[in-house]
Chain A
Amino acid sequence: MNLKVAKRAESYIPTASMADIAFLLIVFFMVTSTITVDRTAVELPTSLERVEVPKDAAVIAIDETGQVFFSNGEEDSRAISTQDLLPSAAFIMSKNSLKYFLIKADGNAEYRYIDQVMEQLRQAAVRNIAMLTQQEGVG
């Protein structure tokens, strides 16, 4: 009896679609990610209670030395004096009176800086404010 050795099928992993998958992932991450408008490095205070805030909100960053940075939620943030905050905030409020303003202040900043910012926002008739925090017990 002649036992013929079965012809081995050549084995290979199909990698042709790998590029499609990878590009799909890239596109997915590009679409779902939001562009950060503010890159001020601050040590955020911690809190247990946290709620999600709207993504297109204006950002007011206050660093430890009291320097204020402002972004309307679309452009990159820029350094601003506290007095200039009022016209900027008022202009945003004139277009969208429900706009959220995020206060991204350093936990070690003295409260008077936040107080000055709050006063300007109050005069600009801003209603909705959110204070960004980190989760307590983490980091």
Chain B
Amino acid sequence: MKLSKKKGNPDIPTSSMADIAFLLIVFFMVTSVFSVTRGLEFQLPRQDTSAEQTAEEAVHIFIERSGANCSFTVDGTLMALDDINVYLQPKLARNPNKFVIIDPAPTAPYRCMVDVFDELKQGNVKNISIPTTAEKAAWGSVM
């Protein structure tokens, strides 16, 4: 008796591999979230050099909540957000290192502080200071 087996060509079915891989890509794309990696940089003062700057010669911006928006008081004058830079530019032209203090009220929304900070950055203000409540208490009532 002759035993002859016809050998089939052995192969791994790879035609669906691409489908599987693309499915994985789509799955990861859909489930992944975009993380925000851009923002405003800000440097806190060093501990040892604190309280060197006198508050009198700095521009003082006070931010308060008023309804859904905010009101900005710059050196005692109520101002619109867009006018802050107009007010600051002549001062910066005289002294590019002019200090600007942002002083938001505790109840003011955070976004208003960011708006002012953004505005100052656009106006190329180099020295922006955001004192914390404890710092302000340490300075006394100069504000």
Contacts and interface: CB of A to CB of B under 8 A. Distances in A.
Interface of A: 15-16, 18-19, 21-23, 25-26, 29-30, 33-34, 36, 38-39, 44-53, 55, 62, 102, 104-116, 118-119, 121-122, 125-136
Contacts of A15: 15, 18
A8 B70 CA distance: 77
Contacts of B121: 47, 49
B122 A48 contact: yes
Given A44-B36, A47-B118, A111-B105, A130 B41 contact: yes
Given A19-B17, A53-B41, A126-B44, A48 B134 contact: no
B6 interface: no
Interface of B: 14-15, 17-18, 20-22, 24-25, 28-29, 32-33, 35-47, 63, 104-115, 117-118, 121-122, 130, 132-135
Contacts of A26: 21, 24-25, 28
Nearest to B36: A132
Contacts, number: 158
A47 B115 contact: yes
B31 to A, nearest CB: 12
A117 B136 CA distance: 15
Contacts of A104: 36
A135 B38 CA distance: 9
B110 A111 contact: yes
Given A19-B18, A115-B104, A118-B132, 14 more contacts: A18-B18, A18-B21, A25-B25, A26-B25, A29-B28, A46-B114, A47-B115, A48-B118, A49-B121, A53-B38, A112-B107, A115-B132, A129-B43, A130-B40
Nearest to A109: B110
A16 B14 contact: yes
B40 A133 contact: yes
Contact of B25 (A29, A39, A134): A29
11 contacts: A19-B18, A25-B25, A44-B36, A50-B40, A52-B37, A108-B110, A110-B108, A111-B112, A112-B107, A122-B135, A129-B42
A105 B110 contact: yes
A127 B36 contact: no
A23 B21 contact: yes
Nearest to B35: A36
A52 B17 CA distance: 38
Contacts of B41: 51, 53, 128-130
